[in-house]
Chain A
Amino acid sequence: MRSFGSTLAVDNVSFQVYRGELFAFLGPNGAGKTTTINLLTGLLHPDRGEIRYRGERFNPDLLAVKQLIGVVPQHNNLDKELSVAENLRIHGILFGLRGRQLEERIRFCLEFADLLEKSATAAGKLSGGMKRKLVIARALLHQPKILFLDEPTVGLDPHSRRRMWAFLRRINVEQQCTVFLTTHYIEEAESLAQRVMIMDNAKIIAAGSPDELKSCGGDYVLDIYRGTDLDSEFFADRDAALRRLKQLDTVVRIRETTLEDVFLQLTGKRIAGGKGDV
């Protein structure tokens, strides 16, 4: 739990991430995703609460623990004047790599991130997608066991985003790295993650695999168009949805539930409630 002045940014949040998993953390702006990551990586200290790793108390201030985690912040914090390789080298030295081992890791990470030809380019001169990949490559340099990524695909076009997904899957599988990522994009969480957690207003409002989350509201949706308004109704199966369809005489569309429906349903209620309070 953590607050900033009177703003409660993370409130009684409790969840588990399993080893080797790709875990997505979904939530609208200001939900508290970044604050949660900062608490998990030790950049902020919680007002209350604790983190456990394999059953042991996990203190991100311990040097051995820092060695285990890689962090990709929301903001690309590269040294823009320095070359791609220099950015990696400094990170490597800070994490205790040296000599041949350091140069090999730099080369490996550059290759892995497809940045080998750019190794002498100033980081500030890379495209947005390359910068993002460089930040990720840097976080992987010291071979962390857990990688935290705060909005890894922010600012990427649809093609780059899909390439980034493939890259993240490779990290998860080839590097055997537990991946914890935050995102605003529902299809990103749905297509990447084994488990998803939805956070809103500093609280966790749902958690589970994408399929579990989708079926909790109903597997089928009727989108009912009433003038400019769109109402969605949820049904456990297709037959139930079709029965309801027969009673209606407006424009209707029937489809399977997406994670977006779940997300909108869960976070939308709150927004509607908020309006009522004002």
Chain B
Amino acid sequence: MFNGVRGIYLRETLILRKKLVKTVLASAVSPALFLIAFGYGVGQGAQVNGHDYLLFLLPGLLTMSSMNQSYGIATEINISRFYFKVFEEYLLAPLKRWEIVVAEMFYGVTKGLIPVVIIGIYTLLCGVQLTFGVRFLVALLLHLAIFSLLGLITALLVRNHSDQALMNSFLITPMMFLSGTFFPVEKMPVVIRAVAALSPLTYSTRLIRSTLIGDMAVNNALFPLLAVMVVVLFIVAYRVVNRVQI
């Protein structure tokens, strides 16, 4: 049972292990720069909704960089499919196609946990008080699953590597900045608010931030919303994987 899930997950994590130092460094640098530029530079002494800007910013950096890592499996899948043709191995193996979806989702979630640890360390270094509880963990897993599935779907729909890069600049980068990671969306003009409303990152950031900041009310209605997104994306991913020929 689940040979497909085990085999593919093992492959992905073995490769991740060989590239661990690179991955850790890559996901350590950009949040550090954002932290310096926005947290200590622009936002020095600022307050958002009655919280220090740093307290507001760190959860945003956490969701942003973990999204980047989870969604980042798209590029890897794309390269291994079209350039190295490793994906053929999965298509030839006696596995059910949903197993590919589950394995890649688990892998994306695993990869997304790396920046979470790094931001956790930054939080300690900054002397900011965040509470990492069970509700945070559940919200985080849903968040990572959403972006892993999105990564898988785009990787399989896009036919080549340059289109994949295009997806990143038209979809992921705007999402990174307009989803309430650096500033509260509510204070923005209506156009930006409309864009933010379409971005799943807006909801996961809002939920995760509220679970991390002790005196903020957790918006429990967002849990089922994220769960529904996971289910819908899983079904879409399954349909796409099912249709795939080399």
Residue A94 interfacial (CB < 8 Å) = yes
Q: Is the CB of A44 within 8 A of B15?
A: no
Please pick, from B10, B84, B96, B245, the residue contacting A45 in the complex, using a CB distance under 8 A: B245
Residues of A within 8 A of B14 (CB): 79, 82, 86, 90
Q: Is the CB of A66 within 8 A of B245?
A: no
Residue A75 interfacial (CB < 8 Å) = yes
Residue of B nearest to A60 (CB): B92
Q: Is the CB of A81 within 8 A of B89?
A: no
Residues of B within 8 A of A75 (CB): 85
Which of A19-27, A35-43, A109-117, A256-264 is the interface stretch? Answer: A35-43
Q: How far is the CA of A62 from the CA of B84 in the complex (A)?
A: 25
Which chain B residues numbered 92 to 138 have a C-beta less than 8 Å away from chain A? 92-96
Residue interface bits A121-140, CB-to-B below 8 A is 1, else 0: 00000000000000000000
Tell me whether A77 and B94 are in contact in the complex, defined as CB-CB below 8 angstroms, given that A90-B11, A94-B3 are known contacts.
no
Residue B59 interfacial (CB < 8 Å) = no
Please pick, from B18, B92, B95, B245, the residue contacting A71 in the complex, using a CB distance under 8 A: B92
Residue A73 interfacial (CB < 8 Å) = yes
Tell me whether A95 and B3 are in contact in the complex, defined as CB-CB below 8 angstroms, given that A63-B94, A77-B84, A86-B14 are known contacts.
yes
Looking at the assembled complex, report how far the CB atom of A37 sits from the nearest CB atom of chain B, in whole angstroms. Answer: 11
Which chain B residues numbered 31 to 85 have a C-beta less than 8 Å away from chain A? 84-85
Looking at the assembled complex, report how far the CB atom of B191 sits from the nearest CB atom of chain A, in whole angstroms. Answer: 41
Q: How far is the CA of A128 from the CA of B4 in the complex (A)?
A: 29
Residues of A within 8 A of B88 (CB): 43, 71, 73, 77
Residue A278 interfacial (CB < 8 Å) = no
Q: Is the CB of A91 within 8 A of B18?
A: no
Residue B239 interfacial (CB < 8 Å) = no
Residues of A within 8 A of B217 (CB): none
Looking at the assembled complex, report how far the CB atom of B142 sits from the nearest CB atom of chain A, in whole angstroms. Answer: 28
Residue A248 interfacial (CB < 8 Å) = no
Q: Is the CB of A94 within 8 A of B95?
A: yes
Residue B172 interfacial (CB < 8 Å) = no
Residues of B within 8 A of A81 (CB): 15, 18-19
Residue B90 interfacial (CB < 8 Å) = yes
Q: How far is the CA of A43 from the CA of B3 in the complex (A)?
A: 20
Residues of A within 8 A of B15 (CB): 79, 81-82
Residue of A nearest to B1 (CB): A96
Residues of A within 8 A of B95 (CB): 63, 94
Residue B159 interfacial (CB < 8 Å) = no
Residue A119 interfacial (CB < 8 Å) = no
Residues of A within 8 A of B91 (CB): 42-43
Residues of B within 8 A of A69 (CB): 92
Q: How far is the CA of A67 from the CA of B3 in the complex (A)?
A: 13
Looking at the assembled complex, report how far the CB atom of B55 sits from the nearest CB atom of chain A, in whole angstroms. Answer: 40
Residues of A within 8 A of B90 (CB): 94
Residue B7 interfacial (CB < 8 Å) = yes
Q: How far is the CA of A67 from the CA of B92 in the complex (A)?
A: 9
Q: How far is the CA of A45 from the CA of B92 in the complex (A)?
A: 13
Residues of B within 8 A of A67 (CB): 94
Please pick, from A44, A64, A71, A94, the residue contacting B7 in the complex, using a CB distance under 8 A: A94
Q: How far is the CA of A67 from the CA of B94 in the complex (A)?
A: 6
Residues of B within 8 A of A44 (CB): 245-246
Tell me whether A43 and B94 are in contact in the complex, defined as CB-CB below 8 angstroms, given that A38-B246, A77-B84, A94-B4 are known contacts.
no
Show 23 A/B contacts (Cβ-Cβ < 8 Å), sorted by A.
A42-B91, A43-B88, A43-B92, A44-B246, A63-B96, A66-B93, A73-B85, A77-B84, A77-B85, A77-B86, A79-B11, A81-B19, A89-B10, A90-B7, A90-B89, A91-B93, A93-B10, A94-B7, A94-B89, A94-B94, A94-B95, A95-B93, A95-B94
Q: A43-B88, A43-B245, A95-B94 are in contact. List 9 more A-B contacts (CB 8 A).
A: A43-B92, A63-B96, A66-B92, A66-B93, A69-B92, A77-B86, A82-B14, A90-B11, A93-B10
